[in-house]
Amino acid sequence: MYVKIFVCVYTLISVALLAQPVVIEGKITGAEGRTIVLLGYNGAENFPIDSTVVVTEKSYFRMRSEIPYQGLFKLMVEKGQGRNQDRYIDLILSNGSEIQFSTVFPYLTDSLKVQKGRELSYFHEFTRSYNGIQYKIILLAELLQRYPAGDSFYNVAEQKIHKLSQEKAELFKRFRDTAFPLANRYISMLRQWDAKGDDFSGSFYRGIDLSDTLWTRNVLLHQKIGQYYSYLANNQSFQDFHTMNKNFIDSVLNPLKVNEVLWKNIFAYLVRAFKAMNYPEGLEYLKVKYMEGDVCTDGANLPEIDEILANLEVLKPGAPLPEGMVQTLEGKELLVPAELPVSGLKLMIFWSHKCRHCNESKPYWEDLYKRKSPKGLKVVTLHNGDTRQEWFRAIEDLPKEWIHLHDPLGWNGYTGRLKITGTPAYILLDAENRILKKTFDLMEIESILNNVL
């Protein structure tokens, strides 16, 4: 018995001595005042281990934490919402690790510089090199799906992919330093995933030199359009449509007239994007300039544009919200918006409990409500489809004072009539039930609320 007790005590003391805390410190320029969280991963989901705040003005933080295992962790600086990616840094940690780095928010990975932590530096050097090759291959492979095999560009792209694949194989051979066993474990896992054709991580295009992929034939235009949409997200940009916006569209489409395949692809891309952005001015310009001016070689888009424009008019700012029948918690039918039991400024949230983005957005809904309800904001949720029992379970963690409604017809019901194509979607109504904004971006709603409340 005494021997057993001695062994147990000795084991506990040994574990306590071995489990030395890790120290992580860094400077994250542009992230002042943000909470950062150290996350572990159990094979299915992330779990928080510790958190701290980036010090205002100095952009500095320091974290001293116990870790439950040795291996790969994430340092989350901001949780993504909607179209925004989670912003995090991969960390390789073992007992007693001391990590020191500097980076710039939000481009954490691309600007990361490791001052202390040799295994992390080794792992980061590998992932940066790997991404620089892998995403060129992904972009080129996507392009090959869009061009006929007889196109000269097709052959050049094929040769480039073959060369890049050889470079990637050499990269895996080069990173086998036995001094870094933890990093090598994850590099080995990546090699297996890569062999199966699985993608390793999210968007790391920024900072990678892609000029040698000839991606300017397609993907560069998509990126350029994406940057343009970011500009449009600024409320002031819509005032400039007759100058900057038309010039931008012309600068993208006019040079493509010599390549019919590419022209159609980019034109369709613009149509889908303007539809998603609820941006009728852009669609009108595409129709008048490029569908009726003998520039477009394919008139198949015209009926689609007309239909989209008609649908967008339904939810145009200033228009009254169309009526529709939905169900209350008691199972009674209710006419929206006339019979809504709340007055004043209202935020309608269209969602479904099966929608992952909706469930991830719930904390943001509640945070906005807590800050704006004292100034008069009311919230109305409309759950899309499925049984009432599933709906009841889905709203248990939402505020009881909200008006919770249900549409058993789902996309064939009121949501479909409003031409809402995805969830979560938001419609902000004034006191007369006229539309102030329809969007998929909660930040746009908050921007308007900051001006009207």
- What gap in Å lies between CA 99 and CA 117, rounded to an integer? 5
What pLDDT sits at residue 14? 35
DSSP-based three-state secondary structure for 434: strand
Alpha helix stretches (DSSP H) within 258-314? 260-276, 280-285, 301-314
**How far is residue 315's CA from residue 337's CA, in Å, rounded to a whole number?**
14
Structure-block tokens of residue 93: 């940690």
Q: Give the chain's length.
A: 453
Angle between helices 118-144 and 181-196 (to 10 degrees): 10
Task: Specify the 3-state DSSP secondary structure of 12.
Answer: helix
Bridge-based pairing state of the strands 425-429 and 435-439: antiparallel
| Per-residue pLDDT tens digits of the chain, which is 453 residues long | 333 333 333 333 333 334 588 999 999 998 888 888 888 875 556 778 888 888 877 899 999 988 888 888 889 887 765 445 668 889 999 889 999 999 988 888 878 899 999 999 999 999 888 888 887 887 777 666 666 566 666 777 788 888 888 999 999 999 988 899 888 888 887 787 776 654 433 333 344 444 444 333 444 455 555 555 554 444 444 444 445 567 777 877 777 676 666 677 677 777 777 776 666 777 888 887 777 654 444 555 667 777 777 766 777 788 899 999 999 999 999 999 999 988 899 999 999 988 887 888 899 999 999 999 999 999 999 998 878 888 999 999 999 999 999 999 988 889 888 877 778 889 999 999 999 988 877 888 988 999 888
DSSP code string of 7-57: HHHHHHHHHHHH-PPEEEEEEEET-TT-EEEEEEE-SS-EEEEEEEEPPTT
Tokens coding 366: 């509640």
Peptide bond into 363 cis (omega under 30): no
Instruction: With 0.85 as the threshold, say if the pTM is over it.
Output: no
Give me the pLDDT at residue 242, please: 47
Tell me the three state secondary structure of residue 269.
Answer: helix
- Residue closest to 218 by CA, chosen among 298, 287, 138: 138
Contact call for residues 63 and 54 (beta carbons, < 8 A): no
Q: Are 165 and 75 in contact (CB under 8 A)?
A: no
Q: What is the pLDDT of residue 444?
A: 84
State which H helix or E strand residue 436 sits in.
Answer: strand 435-439
CA atoms within 13 A on the CB side of 370: 8
Question: CA of 317: how far to CAs of 32, 232, 279, in Å?
Answer: 36, 16, 11
Q: Hunting for tokens 């038309």 — which residue is that?
A: 246
The 3-state DSSP class for residue 329 equals coil
| Side-by-side strand order, sheet with 87-93 | 46-53, 35-41, 71-78, 87-93
Q: What pLDDT score was predicted for residue 243?
A: 54
In the chain, the amino acid numbered 217 is R
DSSP 396: T
